[in-house]
Amino acid sequence: MSDNDSRPRFHLAVGVDDLAAAAHFYGEVLGCSPGRSSEIWMDWNLYGHQVVTHLVDRVQARAHNSVDDHDVPVPHFGVLLSVVEFHELANRLKESNIDFVIEPYLRFAGEVGEQWTMFFLDPAGNAIEVKAFADDSYVFAH
């Protein structure tokens, strides 16, 4: 999704424990352009959506749910990309030596809802999922 897309964009604020590490990760590794900032928070353009990293003393605890035989971290946030963008980002993350929680793979292969997915953590431990559907009609399919 580009900045000029007419669909509504989401805003998400996440806690981080090191703004410099967050700036490197979101800016350099993910390639997000920075927006406004202060000494305790930074805005990021994540594919046209506003993600804000807020400096906090304690980042929230994690849980997991089993999905397609993988332990999916909860909570998590993410973005849906085209298949080409997904693989470009996966390669960028691999080149940056990011440790994946769940390596990029094709989930629900051959089923309604087939999608590429990967999970990784930002430096503060916030879980991020990136998905790609070859058929956009599968995004909300039953």
Cis link prior to 75 (omega < 30° from 0)? yes
For 11-55, CATH gives 3.30.720.120
Q: What is the pLDDT of residue 5?
A: 63
With contact defined as beta carbons under 8 Å apart, do 74 and 64 qualify?
Answer: yes
Quick: pLDDT tens for 45-60.
999 999 999 999 876 7
User: Is the pTM for the entire model greater than 0.85?
Assistant: yes
> What average pLDDT does this structure show over 93-112?
95
The residues with which 63 forms a beta bridge, in sequence order, are 74
Domain locations along the chain: 11-55, 69-138
pLDDT mean over 9-26 = 94
- Report the distance separating Cα 68 and Cα 12, nearest Å: 26
pLDDT band at residue 2, thresholds of 50, 70 and 90? Answer: very low
pLDDT at residue 142, rounded to an integer: 78
Q: Tell me yes or no: is domain 69-138 CATH 2.60.40.1840.
A: no
pLDDT of residue 62: 78
